[in-house]
Amino acid sequence: MRHCSARDLGRRLLLVLALAGGVGVSPCRRAAAEISDTRRTPIVTAVQRARPAIVNIHGEKLVDATDPRDARTADGKRKVNGMGTGVILDERGYIITNHHVVDGVKKIIVTTAARETFVARLVSRDPATDLAIIKIDADHDLQVIAIGTSGDLMPGETVIAVGNAYGYEHTVTRGIISALHRSVQVSDAQQYEDLIQTDASINPGNSGGPLLNIDGEMIGINVAVRAGAQGIGFAIPTDKVLTVAADLLSTRRVERTWHGVQAHTTESGDVEVLALDEASPASDSGLQAGDVITSIGGMPVARAIDIERAFLGREAGEPVDVSVRRRQQPMTVKLALAKTDGDPAWDMLGLKLEPQSAKQFQQHRTHYRGGLTVTDVRTDSPAARQGIRRGDVLVGMHVWETVTMENVTYILARPDFPQLDPLKFYILRGSETLYGHLNVSQRTAAQAR
């Protein structure tokens, strides 16, 4: 028999007197443990599993003031409040979100599901894929999202979107996968390839948040909606997200250290060494192509991104145990990170580059979003052989824009960089846009490391 307090019984009596139709009212609130299995659906369970690893992002940014009635800054900008969502990838506070969510935001405010608020810093970004890594510093480990795969998705299967829709934090919507492998052009500067299409409601503020499967695993990052259409939203597939995130979280980009392991996640779920960079710490450690990495420093390795997570925070020269399976036999090698020195753009391309302010770049009157001024060109370098001059503005290489030095470092440090040789580049010279190809040999790249 359930016992209720006198106060509960009094409330029940008042409700009975007020309800002409005799609607049944529970005499006291059910405890959470008493919620029926019928109500605790797979969707509820999935959301409860993922929610602690999802954060809300707020920030103020400056945009061009197009309406003369808008309040504006001295340089013609107006302030807008941006919002978005992020997903915790590492318990130390590394979060993935969309680049457009944090682009231009001076103070990135992150609120967790536990209502803790932090000021985040931008760690790295890739405008071409519209992904970025930010970091918050908590005094405890944070819950990490459960990650699924986008390689076995089925049109028609149930999916769930969670995000900061219109500023309403941790909003949950559900739907199905409508289609796969969609290409979407959202502006002159941004096109997405190979997206997941869903009819789960995705609204402004959902950007950067997870698309979940019915098991509560992240299978995509919500990124765009079809303007003027209901029930058409898009997400970047998780497998692509993790590939980009591994580059964005690489020790080379984040901490200027280097291991030299090139790995991928196989169809069977193993993290296999594809190749080792020449004269790298990895090649010196005794690792071999074909080795399956199972743990690094005691941290289990389930995906290629875990290699970067395991090495983050390690000092250069500190030996770390790397456990592998080689021809089905377990073994352990020791690998010590090395410091990266020098300027990759100078060493590999022969270019000294400096960022341009937004105000400086506006004078070029071009559709590009930014660029780097060439301040010096090394004699007999790849850049010199292509006729690049001081004063030129580098605006892109291959398929990526070069707005910041970080963009250039990202391109030159990519594991597939040798496959990009010769490297296509785009520069502004006066009122002209010019392009050419930089022949950067693998030997030159190895020397730069």
The SS3 of residue 242 is helix
Query: Does the active-site annotation cover 441?
Result: no
End-to-end Cα spacing for the chain: 74
Max Cα-Cα span within the chain: 93
Contact, 209 vs 163, CB < 8 A? yes
What is d(CA 147, CA 64) in angstroms, rounded to the nearest whole number?
Answer: 38
Query: Does the active-site annotation cover 323?
Result: no
Active-site annotation holder among 124, 178, 207, 381: 207
What is d(CA 309, CA 273) in angstroms, rounded to the nearest whole number?
Answer: 16
What is d(CA 130, CA 244) in angstroms, rounded to the nearest whole number?
Answer: 10
- Which residues are CB-contacts of 276 (< 8 A; sequence separation ≥ 6)? 260, 261, 262, 282, 283, 287, 288, 289
Contact, 394 vs 405, CB < 8 A? no
Residue 27 structure tokens: 């005499």
Tokens 């060439």 locate to 374
- Which residues are CB-contacts of 88 (< 8 A; sequence separation ≥ 6)? 53, 54, 55, 94, 95, 142, 143, 144, 145
The SS3 of residue 146 is coil
Peptide bond into 319 cis (omega under 30): no
Active-site annotation holder among 99, 100, 170, 259: 100
Residue 389 structure tokens: 């001059």
Active-site annotation holder among 126, 130, 291, 306: 130
Query: Does the active-site annotation cover 100?
Result: yes
- Which residues are CB-contacts of 204 (< 8 A; sequence separation ≥ 6)? 83, 165, 166, 225
Type of residue numbered 286: G
- Angle at which helix 238-248 crosses helix 304-311, to 10 degrees, equals 30
Tokens 């503020």 locate to 205
- Which residues are CB-contacts of 345 (< 8 A; sequence separation ≥ 6)? 351, 352, 353, 405, 408, 409, 412
- What 8-state DSSP symbol labels residue 270? -
Residue 393 structure tokens: 């503005």
- What 8-state DSSP symbol labels residue 61? E
Which one, of 223, 228, 163, lies nearest residue 198 by Cα?
Answer: 223
- Which residues are CB-contacts of 369 (< 8 A; sequence separation ≥ 6)? 127, 189, 401, 403
Catalytically active residues are: 100, 130, 207
